[in-house]
Amino acid sequence: MADLRRTMYDLDRDRNDFLSGQQVEVAFSKCGVYLTPDVRARLLLATDRTGAGMYKIEALMDYLTRVKPEAHNTVELGNSHKPRQARVGRLPMYQNQPMLNAPWELSQQKGSNTPDEGFSEEGQQQRQRLQGVQPLAPPPPEVPEEAQLPFDIQKWSSDYQYLAQAVYQADQDQSGYMPANEVQHVSSTYNLVYNLQISEQTLLTALNTAIDRDYDEVNLEYFIATLQDLHFRKSDTI
């Protein structure tokens, strides 16, 4: 991550701590950073603080560090990642087939037989099969679940302001009203990017509460206040 930070500042020719989208892609390419398309889009959306397609370097690094702090040369992000489940071992062949003779029994039965005196090719294959069976490895230790960090209301409120700002900026005619589907799209995106943990039901309730029936559009100021209030009220009841 230190190499990525240096590369970004090297590309910042204007020395204003901002990079264009093309410069961000160049920095990722030079440092071997891979992001899935959906995560790259969310990253750029979250760090475009001016709305002009310029991305603040420290905001980029902060987002990458918060989402994947252990990343060094590559970053792989995405919501579809699931921890790999441990495979269930299979019993050795001889445990499932009790009729097979043990090696010492085979040697007693065959005695001093040679290939010219009653040599059994089937018995030889059984011995080789049994000798090649390896004992089962012990099951992997269970990974303890990460302790849940205490809720930081100041950080949540600060991140929520980015959601509110994005909603207001999406109002192109600055009327203070927008269609519900557009408000829902912007809010859901920033809820995901900043991990605000606002439930879908809470979001829909806030939209229905803040909609102006005369214009069939959402009152943005009322929506922002209602969404925050509903989220805290639901959190208090959990």
pLDDT per position as a tens digit, 16-55: 888 888 888 888 888 888 777 777 777 777 777 666 778 8
- Give the pLDDT score at 3: 82
Mean pLDDT in the chain? 73
What is the CATH number for 13?
1.10.238.10
Give the phi and the psi of residue 219 in degrees, each rounded to 5: -75, 110
Give the phi and the psi of residue 131 in degrees, each rounded to 5: -70, -30
- Give the pLDDT score at 89: 45
- Give the pLDDT score at 165: 92
H-run or E-run covering 55: strand 54-56
- Give the pLDDT score at 36: 76
Is residue 24 assigned to a domain?
Answer: yes
- Give the pLDDT score at 138: 59
Nearest-angstrom CA–CA distance, 11 and 24: 9
- Of 67, 84, 101, the last residue of a domain is 67
What is the CATH number for 183?
1.10.238
Contacts 24+ apart (CB under 8 A), 165-171: 166/45, 166/190, 167/220, 167/223, 167/224, 168/220, 169/51, 171/220
pLDDT band for 64, please (50, 70, 90 cuts).
confident
Asked whether residue 71 carries a pLDDT value surpassing 70, the answer given is no
In the chain, the number of structural domains is 2
**pTM for this one?**
0.40
Is residue 197 assigned to a domain?
Answer: yes
